[in-house]
Amino acid sequence: MLDSTLIDKVTQIAHQAGEAIMEIYQRDFAVYEKSDESPLTEADLAAHNCIVNGLQAISDLPILSEESANIPWSERQTWDKYWLVDPLDGTKEFIKKNGEFTVNIALIDKGEPVFGVVFAPVLKQTYVGVLGQGAYKLEGDNRTAISPKIKSEDEEWRVVGSRSHQSPDIQALLAKLGGEPELVAMGSSLKLCLVAEGAAHLYPRLGPTSEWDTGAADAVVRAAGGKVTIIESATNVFDEHAKPLSYNQKESVLNPYFLVSC
């Protein structure tokens, strides 16, 4: 059982990071290029500093953030429990100013995401999930419990896809589902949250992601009653024996392909 005070404090840290992001979002900002050629902005670093300082004030656990990811495997493999952070997921969406970016903080315990907070500052939406304790969505003062939606026979599939990273395999998957499936385009970790709250049935990820991209929203999905499972083959995404996505179990922080479902 995770303490409600800790849940509230981490949620507050995510909101504070979101405020730091919004200060920069509302003005001109500098964009840099990281070593992997992905974009980095002042906002990523501001949110990173806010989250790290906040977590260190309330916890002694190690922190792995996208903006401080050069921690050697020899050290990381000794961690049983740690914070996994993406200070600003959806940097491309941030630069485009379409609002579909998030602050992400996850607690990982023995490779499993057990607690996650996903905050979308522009949308003013917060998703919180605690494994074994459920998941909910915050909008202002409103708190609503969330859960995935099982597709009924008389409705079409609603499938979440990336706004910035479309994969040719997605079209093949949509054709395989039959009927006239609807592709819901969305940026950042909000894609997983749409399945968690029942706004979509599936989110197949047939492209590259890193563990910090998914950790917090993965926790929300699992706490809500959904699944995030590994796709071994793009031609077999509905494997009933598929294993759940795991974290910090190997030297690389890259995720395999995965499917988010109920």
Closest CA to 155 of 192, 180, 173, 174: 180
Determine whether the annotation assigns residue 213 to a binding site. yes
Q: How far is the C-alpha of 61 from the C-alpha of 55, rounded, in Å?
A: 8
Determine whether the annotation assigns residue 91 to a binding site. yes
Determine whether the annotation assigns residue 239 to a binding site. no
Q: Check if the beta carbon of residue 212 is closer than 8 Å to that of residue 104.
A: yes
Q: How far is the C-alpha of 262 from the C-alpha of 198, rounded, in Å?
A: 9
Closest CA to 247 of 118, 108, 72, 83: 108
3-state secondary structure 199-256: CCCEEEECCCCEHHHHHHHHHHHHHHCCEEEECCECCECCCCCCCECCCCCCCCCECC
Would you put residue 105 in left (φ > 0), alpha (ψ -120 to 50) or beta?
A: beta
Determine whether the annotation assigns residue 89 to a binding site. yes
Determine whether the annotation assigns residue 90 to a binding site. yes
Determine whether the annotation assigns residue 80 to a binding site. no
Determine whether the annotation assigns residue 102 to a binding site. no
Adjacent-strand bridge partners of 130: 115, 134
Binding residues for substrate, as ranges, are 66, 88-91, 213
Give the residue numbers of the binding site. Answer: 66, 86, 88-91, 213
Residues in binding site for Mg(2+): 66, 86, 88-89, 213
